[in-house]
Structure 1
Amino acid sequence: MQYFHSHRKLLSGQGLLRLSHFYGQLRRNRIITRAVRSFHGNGRLYAVSEGPLSVAEIFNRIPIEDTRNFCFIAHVDHGKSSLASRVLEYSGNFSLTSETYFLPQSSQIIEKIPCDTHENYEAKEDFLKLDTLSVEQQRGITVKASAASMLYKPNDQALLSPQNDTGYLMLNMVDTPGHIDFGLEVTRSLHVVEGAVLLFDAAQGVQAQTLNVFQKAVDIGTELVPALTKVDLPHARPLEVSIAISEMFGFDPDKILLTSARQRIGVENILEAVACNVPPPVSFEDDDGVTLRAQVLDSWFEPTRGVVCLLKILSGKMEEGDRLVVVDDSFYDKHLSKERQVSNESQFSLQEIGMVLPHRVRTGKLLSGQMGYAIVGLRDPRQARPGSLVLSQDSIDRAFHMEKPEWMLNGDVSQQSALFASVHPLEAGEFDDLCSAVDKLSLNDTGLEVHRTSGASGTDGGPFLGPGLRIGFQGLLHVEVFRQRLLDEFHMEAVVTPPKVSYLIKYLPSKMSSRKQDEPIEEIIEDLSRWPKSGERFDIYEPIVKVRVISPVDYAGNVMELIKKKRGYDMSTEVIDDLNWIFHAQIPWGEVVTSFHDELKNCTAGYASFDTLDAGYKKADLCRVEIMLNGDSVDPLTFVSHRTNAQKESRVVCKKLKETLPREQFVIKIQAKADGKIIASEHIKAYRKDVLTTGGSKAVGGGDITRKKKLLEKQKRGKKRLAQNSSGKVRLSQAAFNSVVSRSG
């Protein structure tokens, strides 16, 4: 281009026009110039580049006033990740150029493109670029919030601050999960950003998780931008859904954006709305521009690089080679000594730092307001957990006397585990490897609650499973994703027992009680092996949740019948529009977590959705059902049932185990026991060799019946000895545990 600039007088008008078009293409592809010379030719103004700026230089020249942090929130499968991928594609972060979007667009529904075109197949593949985990790509869902930074040139340049000479805003985007089991990821993301794009499916409209994430955003004070997705679908109802949204949430229907990730409709409108409506990050009042304070948003472990952190710079700057320290909330506790506040193990040297686009771009430093990754050389995943504060070693004393970060004032964003399960390795010798893998996975999955014991012998696996860990999860899908991630990322195949909820036990005075005087009168138990022993007088309280179901009105009868079946009460209904109703009820959490989701989908043809809210504990008539194999109790298969349903559910469990457990050389007797009585039983026949024939199908002993009886009795005694000497050797697979999660017949 310098050659053309030197010889511009020799160029014809057509040559100058081509030069201008080439420069415009560079601009659209985000290749910004260090210096631009302008010249006129044939009445037109032309510009020539003298050299491109690097991506790092562009980002580092954008002040914090021109930064926008936002996320996408919505119900599951309402198009968050697809739209996030299109936003990155439009900004030039992905390989496809933004020229794709320079087609005539309007706020009306654009003429539909056939779904089987090559362009749409290619576009569908691009949707998965933000979902990097193997489990996300296999299941087609988002389980981890993903962040990426991008550049955007707003149509209204007045949005830029005077000191910004790049002409661009820096947008930090977070794509969040939609499933209820990963709601903690959504909450953490909302605490990091100042704005959120609330998405609604133009065909399904308002769903249960839509209400849930909306309430979270309102409670935190996040600025919301409403938008409809999938407006190109044949059964989309943009007008009806917009009216319902405006009535329920108070949005102006004229300001609800219409988008389609598949056909790239409204992507620019999303970015323009974020630029105009989302406020920039608020700086600390005592920010001196020097003292480094950074928040750990996420972290993960890589075998070759160690712990990698995703950071948000709150003040100051961070450069490679800096000596840093990671602290938690106890850093601001003035009652602790400085040695306890900052330990030597938490200090490290910054090895590599850069931006996430979502691919890594090494920049060498991060400035205030920026998000990026940092490789610090840590090998212990527990040293850099999300929510930690990163400080410069040179400014620890200054940071101690400065303003405490907001998320530390409000407490760590956490969520109580909804259910608990035991995790065991297939081989007892792999227990230490399992502990190491769970430590690394819990660094990236903050919804896990890991309970360690003093040693491998202290776990509740018994002779059937051996040593293991007790882990709290947010739901059944969370359990499945955890097990799959263990296998995909750490090549660790583990057995996860059927999840159980917690119960509140209140002990009553009793002369026959064996409890000590100093033991608590009330306790919450998560492990059924701690269930009160016979002879104790106690009341049982089960956890209750407020359930909100959104379903088409055509299935109202089925939904109400299911709620009653699950022992629901205080049922009420609310009308959304002519097609959908909201059902409110209170249901025991143990009934919801087992099979409520599957049964709700079955009775509503897959159209209904639900979410839950903790409602405390309620007294109930419950009993502990113990599952025994050949007379030996199997603690992981033990469950709690309402006394009126105990026998029915026990029969279902015994029948499922009979269908799942493999046959052995001995008879397997499956029994369910409650209140000291056997209430259900099944038998699995043993493999049996035909001892009455020899080779060639020749009968033994001819026609002598006494000889045959002796052989059969001998075989029977051998099977009995084998069963007696094989206590605990019944093979329990993951399929056996999965089969008893749902106890519905």
Structure 2
Amino acid sequence: MKIRNFSIVAHIDHGKTTLSDRILEDTGTVPKRKMQAQLLDGMDLERERGITIKAKAVRIQYKDYILNLIDTPGHVDFSYEVARSLRACEGVLLLVDASQGVEAQTVAHAHLAQSLGLKIIPVMNKVDLSQADADASEEQLWDILKEPIEAERVSAKTGMGIEHLLDRIITDIPAPQGDPNAPLRALIFDSYYDPFRGVIMYIRLVDGSVKPGQMIQFMSSGASYKTEEIGFMTPKQLHKTDSLSAGEVGYLVAGIKDIHQVKVGDTITLAERPAEKALPGYAEAKPVVFASIFPVETTDFPLLRKALEKLNLSDSSFHYQSETSKALGFGFRLGFMGILHIEIVKERLEREFNLSLIATSPNVVYHVKFTPRKSHPQELAALPDAPDDPGYKIIDNPANFPPHGDIIDIKEPVIHITIVTPVEFMDGVMTLLKEKRGTFMSMDHLSNQRVIIKYEMPMGEMVIDFYNKLKSVSKGYASFDYEVAGFRSSDVVLMEILLHGTPVDALSVVVHKDKAQTMGRALCAKLKELIGRQQFEVAVQAAVNGKVIARETIPAFRKDVIAKCYGGDITRKRKLLEKQKEGKKRMKAIGSLNIPQEAFVAMLKIDEE
């Protein structure tokens, strides 16, 4: 079978998208007059940030062979997309920047490809740079792979070595082994919504074949649909075909109007001749970080609802539900795959739908066990049960925490974090991990200059300014990758922020008990600076378990009401001052605060001072 299915994986900024561009150009898939940088990155946001957010697939004709290239995201937040894309391939190009060496996500991707039994072709990129050391980078990769595999030397920017790499793809990556006569089994590795045709699924056929007009069935849900159109993908358009068979990569349209009915990673089979067993590896993509989004103008809430509905059609990996905040009014609670995912969704909402939004500080999900009481609001009783922790409830919003006296135990998510750093910054990185309540797991030397450190760390500590601090202590040279490792009981508490005596639910945060007072003081000081002076005195307080642990007072603006009094009886001046005092007291009783948007990201920056 003259088909080769392969993917390109790399750490972010190692030249993966540029290599895709050169392959498309050198094989004539895209004419040179139509060629442009980051061709497969269709979103403006992808081009501006220089990152791939959505996986792409494209068919390439080269020397009588069909090469199916699946371009994957490089950022750690989108590792689930990388995993399901690799399951659609037989081989992988493991790209390393020869001027930087092996990074954390290089390690993660290499181990993932090995666990799936894929053929790995190491590729040293940017070898034309003066600071490149391809030999040292290759040796680091051998230590990771535990076997010496000859690496290709290329420059994706200039095109050097691309032709030899293409020949190596043909010779080294095995052909698909599926049986075209067996019952259909096709993996859905991506999907997107087209307003005219409905959901378009990207599929890899492992066994069997499919034609238009046949009834397909999703093996996870059992739902059946009639196939309307099938074909394969080129860089800028879809091409119809009469059939797709085992080994091929293509697209399928079945008139599905709701993208949430299509589960990425699911297996498609034929309703009339179903397969006995689904393809392995399917798992629901679960959000790990949560944040609330509110419109700056409360009248924009219906527009925000419509915008989320439309955006969710093209990016079904985030979840949302409506919520109400006493401080910010009506908004939505969203679940994301990571911190970058929050930034991407918020920026797309503001840019594509012309909205002004406030996003609260992100937090993770907790498993909480508490004493049920009749006085509890219905929301607590309606909280979902934790699947692996009987008796625990899932809480993804600090505002939903039960009263502190009723809490029996709180479990927080922990991650296994892998950091690759130069040896000279090792002490600073390990000190940072200790501050973030990390537990040492292992350490290996990649070379005399670079080391791999593995720690177990609470995920909530990574959410609060970890990335910036890691780059600061390593001068930008350290990189990290992580995976969620379960839940552990922890001595964490809910810290409430009170402004003018009223709790602001959107500013509530869950912190470790030992850090509560330090963080409370820092946050109160930051809020005092951000909110600024009002016409009345404002108290900014942090409270844990009903007790105030930190306070800052924002003084009121005061007008010099006795400036016009020159001489005369002192009682006249006192009368004016008493009148002003009464006015300030009345204003304090009925006054309300306008909280600036910067206050809601203060939680992310309180450790920078």
Deviation at 1:147, TM superposition (A): 1.5
Contact map agreement 2:289 2:362 (CA 8 A) in 1: yes
Deviation at 1:651, TM superposition (A): 1.4
Deviation at 1:210, TM superposition (A): 1.0
Aligned residue in 2 for 1:106? none
Pair 1:657-2:527 in alignment: yes
Pair 1:462-2:325 in alignment: yes
Which residue among 585, 588, 600 is the counterpart of 1:737?
600
Q: Distance in 1 between matches of 2:51 and 2:94?
A: 18
Which residue among 217, 224, 236 is the counterpart of 2:120?
224
Deviation at 1:709, TM superposition (A): 4.3
Aligned residue in 2 for 1:235? 131
Counterparts of 1:65-144 in structure 2, within 5 Å, are 65-96=1-32, 126-144=36-54
Contact map agreement 1:134 1:488 (CA 8 A) in 2: no
**Secondary structure in 1 matching 2:403:** coil
Distance 1:483 1:513, change over 3 A: closer
Per-residue CA deviations over 1:300-342 (Å, capped at 9, x if unaligned) read 33556654443445543445xx4766645121xxxxxxxxx44
**Secondary structure in 2 matching 1:560:** helix
**Secondary structure in 1 matching 2:73:** coil
Counterparts of 1:12-411 in structure 2, within 5 Å, are 65-96=1-32, 126-153=36-63, 168-253=64-149, 255-284=150-179, 286-287=181-182, 295-303=187-195, 306-313=198-205, 315-319=208-212, 322=213, 327=218, 329-331=220-222, 341-342=223-224, 349-350=228-229, 354-363=231-240, 365=242, 367-368=244-245, 369-373=247-251, 378-387=256-265, 396-398=271-273, 400=274, 402-406=275-279, 410=280
Which residue among 352, 363, 376 is the counterpart of 1:489?
352
Distance 1:634 1:313, change over 3 A: same
Deviation at 1:649, TM superposition (A): 0.7
Distance 1:324 1:558, change over 3 A: same
Pair 1:724-2:589 in alignment: yes
Amino acid at match of 1:300: Y
Q: TM-score, normalised by structure 2?
A: 0.88
Distance 1:247 1:390, change over 3 A: closer
Amino acid at match of 1:637: L
Contact map agreement 1:328 1:387 (CA 8 A) in 2: no
Q: Distance in 1 between matches of 2:199 and 2:569?
A: 76
Deviation at 1:466, TM superposition (A): 1.9
Q: Which entry has the higher C-alpha Rg, 1 or 2?
A: 1
Which residue among 544, 559, 563 is the counterpart of 1:674?
544
Deviation at 1:719, TM superposition (A): 4.0
Amino acid at match of 1:135: L
Per-residue CA deviations over 1:88-132 (Å, capped at 9, x if unaligned) read 1111123328xxxxxxxxxxxxxxxxxxxxxxxx9xx94322211
Deviation at 1:70, TM superposition (A): 0.9
Amino acid at match of 2:3: T
Aligned residue in 2 for 1:113? none
Which residue among 455, 466, 473 is the counterpart of 1:603?
473
Aligned-residue Cα RMSD (Å) equals: 3.3
Q: TM-score, normalised by structure 1?
A: 0.73
Amino acid at match of 2:544: A
Amino acid at match of 1:631: G
**Secondary structure in 2 matching 1:740:** helix
Distance 1:311 1:721, change over 3 A: farther
Amino acid at match of 2:595: R
Counterparts of 1:516-535 in structure 2, within 5 Å, are 521-535=391-405
Amino acid at match of 1:396: A
Contact map agreement 2:464 2:603 (CA 8 A) in 1: no
Contact map agreement 2:21 2:37 (CA 8 A) in 1: yes
Per-residue CA deviations over 1:180-199 (Å, capped at 9, x if unaligned) read 11111101111222211011
Q: Distance in 2 between matches of 1:194 and 1:618?
A: 37
Which structure features the higher share of helix residues? 1
Deviation at 1:671, TM superposition (A): 1.0
Q: Distance in 2 between matches of 1:626 and 1:183?
A: 34
**Secondary structure in 2 matching 1:198:** strand
Amino acid at match of 1:96: K
Which structure features the higher share of strand residues? 2
**Secondary structure in 1 matching 2:102:** coil
Amino acid at match of 2:56: S
Aligned residue in 2 for 1:617? 487
Amino acid at match of 2:340: L
Aligned residue in 1 for 2:335? 472
Deviation at 1:293, TM superposition (A): 6.4
Contact map agreement 2:327 2:505 (CA 8 A) in 1: no
Contact map agreement 2:366 2:410 (CA 8 A) in 1: yes
Per-residue CA deviations over 1:543-593 (Å, capped at 9, x if unaligned) read 222222211111122112212222223354321101101222222222222
**Secondary structure in 2 matching 1:644:** helix
Distance 1:207 1:712, change over 3 A: same
Contact map agreement 2:326 2:505 (CA 8 A) in 1: no
Contact map agreement 1:669 1:684 (CA 8 A) in 2: yes
Counterparts of 1:392-471 in structure 2, within 5 Å, are 396-398=271-273, 400=274, 402-406=275-279, 410=280, 412-448=282-318, 450-452=319-321, 456=322, 459=323, 461-471=324-334
**Secondary structure in 1 matching 2:529:** helix
Gaps of 5+ in 2: none
Distance 1:217 1:446, change over 3 A: farther
Q: Distance in 2 between matches of 1:371 and 1:492?
A: 38
Deviation at 1:286, TM superposition (A): 4.3
Q: Distance in 1 between matches of 2:441 and 2:267?
A: 45
**Secondary structure in 1 matching 2:291:** strand
Aligned residue in 2 for 1:17? none
Q: Distance in 1 between matches of 2:534 and 2:196?
A: 45
Contact map agreement 1:625 1:673 (CA 8 A) in 2: yes
Per-residue CA deviations over 1:696-742 (Å, capped at 9, x if unaligned) read xxx36775654454444444444443443344x52342x22122124
Q: Distance in 2 between matches of 1:584 and 1:249?
A: 17
**Secondary structure in 1 matching 2:37:** helix
Q: Distance in 2 between matches of 1:279 and 1:593?
A: 41
Contact map agreement 2:492 2:513 (CA 8 A) in 1: yes
Deviation at 1:208, TM superposition (A): 0.9
Contact map agreement 2:443 2:452 (CA 8 A) in 1: yes
Distance 1:318 1:655, change over 3 A: farther
Q: Distance in 1 between matches of 2:138 and 2:473?
A: 28
Distance 1:298 1:703, change over 3 A: farther
Deviation at 1:175, TM superposition (A): 1.3
Per-residue CA deviations over 1:133-187 (Å, capped at 9, x if unaligned) read 122112111121122111111xxxxxxxxxxxxxx11111111111111111101
**Secondary structure in 1 matching 2:272:** helix
Per-residue CA deviations over 1:508-537 (Å, capped at 9, x if unaligned) read 899x99999x99743342222333424336
Contact map agreement 1:381 1:439 (CA 8 A) in 2: no
Contact map agreement 1:658 1:684 (CA 8 A) in 2: yes
Q: Distance in 2 between matches of 1:185 and 1:603?
A: 30
